[in-house]
A and B are shown apart, each in its own frame.
Chain A
Amino acid sequence: MPLSDQPKNPGAIHWVGENPGIMLKETEDGPWTALMLFFNIAWSPHGQGRTMLLLQNPNEAKSLPETHNVIMGDNEALTRFLQAEFIEKLATFGGAEGYKALQYVPITEAYATGDPHSRYTEVVKSKDFDVELVWDGLGTPTALEIPPELTGTKKHTMFSLLVESRDPAILIDGRKLPGKPGKRVQAGIETTTAFLYFCETWIWAPDS
């Protein structure tokens, strides 16, 4: 709940936008079989834009043409900023074998369809392939205020709007990647590894 004694947060803004993801595995205790993070950035030091990290084979240090271990963007400076400042601090993504072989692919078109109360998609296109991200089986929107001790970086306060998905899909040129979402806990909430995050705001903690 908002801190009633301090409407203006004293911390500097790091970045603001949407940050949905899909993390799939074949079995609950098995390795990740596909990982995806999408960013639709409204404010950053490098302006606005979209970025998608897609690891079709997170456990193999390979990229195109064998597999779609790629990072896509329509603002390369923003993409590099997000890699250095955020993605590479998340061990599941930045520490994956597939991340070592990552190739950058320019986005030629990206757009959202649907409704985050029912079924929502992001479509990301490049010169050579298209990706469709689907979040279905959506839960109740929940506003989160994560203090630094509960964020991945430990240096930010993070506001976000979580909508969990129990039936997600990643499709590359129409072909669905195998796997299903796993379980995870965020701020004491039992949820899934497929999520929409709207209105996400990363704020430097004043003493960080």
Chain B
Amino acid sequence: MTERIPVNPGTVDWAGENPGIYLKDTPDGDYVTLALYFRIVLSPHGRGHTMLILGAPDEAKGYPDATNLCLTDNEPLTHYLIDGFVSKFPTFKDKPGLKAATWITSAAFDKSGDLKASYTETAQGKDVSASMTWKDMNPPFAVEVSPAHAVTGAHDMYSVFLEAKDAEILVNGAALNGRVADRVLFGETISTAFLAFAETWVTPAK
């Protein structure tokens, strides 16, 4: 095993929570609904929350024509996260719904539930409410990845994941399409619904 270096010499980009829910109609099909949540405690743009929901990731339409929404309480932070990170994630890269998503600013955010049976993040904007719920969680595990394994291909990343066997995304009380599936990440087959606590992204030193 490689010997651990206790102090990462890189530059910390952001830290916080970054859970997600990716849903499919069939196990072999494309994703029909994508959602990410960010509770950021440290970044170049301060603290804040973002809930990104793409109910039609392959359609270049915003809300209400399609359920492509981005709720935020810190717009510069959300631009930083989407431009610098989300848009480089393979699942979100070049998705027309990401660029077309309607932004809802000054949203309010809250959480509820436990970390075993059901856990919910909610976002309330003007005329729009949204929620992401993870159900039936597995025990947590820690991951640490170098750029070779990071979804951006350019960062060190630390996180604690809890896989959820089931999940649901609601917008104004209506459930979005799709079901939880499996995917291979970091060499492991894991659920496409996951909580991610203690997530830290670091740009490696040159």
Contact check, B15 vs A188: say whether CB atoms are below 8 A apart: no
Interface string of B8-32 (1 = CB under 8 A from A): 1110100111000000000000000
Q: A3-B2, A16-B198, A42-B197 are in contact. Are A9 and B8 (CB under 8 A)?
A: no
Contact with A199, one of B15, B140, B148, B186 (Cβ below 8 angstroms): B15
With A18-B41, A143-B12: A203-B158 Cβ-Cβ less than 8 Å = no
- Contact (Cβ within 8 A) B15 A147: no
Residue among A8, A43, A146, A200 making CB contact with B186, cutoff 8 Å: A8
In the complex, are the beta carbons of A1 and B204 less than 8 A apart?
yes
Question: Which among A6, A146, A150, A203 has the greatest number of chain B C-beta atoms within 10 A?
Answer: A6
Top 10 A-B pairs ranked by shortest CB distance?
A: A2-B144, A7-B186, A199-B198, A143-B8, A187-B6, A141-B12, A9-B142, A42-B197, A13-B140, A4-B146
Task: Chain A residues near B198: list those with CB within 8 A.
Answer: 16-17, 42, 159, 198-201
A64 to chain B: closest CB distance in Å? 31
B88 part of interface (Cβ distance < 8 Å)? no
Q: How many residues of B contact A (CB 8 A)?
A: 44
Whether B65 is near chain A, meaning CB under 8 Å from some CB there, is: no
Q: Which residues of B contact A198 (CB under 8 A)?
A: 15-16, 41-42, 198, 200
Interface: B187 (CB within 8 A): yes
Given contacts A143-B200, A199-B200, contact A12 B187 (CB under 8 A): no
A88 at interface, CB cutoff 8 A = no
A189 to chain B, nearest CB (A): 6
Q: Given A42-B197, A43-B197, A144-B8, answer yes or no on A6-B1 (Cβ-Cβ < 8 Å).
A: yes
> 12 more A-B contacts (CB under 8 A) besides A9-B142, A43-B115?
A1-B4, A2-B157, A3-B4, A4-B148, A16-B160, A112-B47, A116-B47, A140-B12, A143-B156, A143-B158, A150-B6, A199-B41
Bound Cα distance A8, B141 (Å): 7
B199 in contact (CB, < 8 A)? yes
Asked whether any CB of chain B lies closer than 8 Å to the CB of A5, the reply is yes
**Nearest-Cβ distance from residue B24 to partner chain A, whole angstroms:** 23
> Are B9 and A1 interface neighbours, CB within 8 A?
yes
| Residues in A neighbouring B1, C-beta threshold 8 A | 3, 5-6
Question: Among A2, A8, A116, A145, which residue has its beta carbon within 8 angstroms of that of B188?
Answer: A8
Given contacts A199-B15, A199-B200, contact A116 B141 (CB under 8 A): no
B7 to chain A, nearest CB (A): 5
Alpha-carbon separation in the docked complex, A199 to B144 (Å)? 13
Scan residues 53-102 of chain A and give those whose CB is less than 8 A from a CB of chain B. none
A47 on interface, CB distance cutoff 8 Å: yes
CB-contacts of A133-147 with B (<8 A): 140-147
Indicate whether B114 reaches chain A with its CB closer than 8 angstroms.
yes
Which residues of B160-175 are within 8 A (CB) of A?
160, 162
Please, which residues of chain B bring their CB within 8 A of the CB of A161?
12, 15, 42, 200
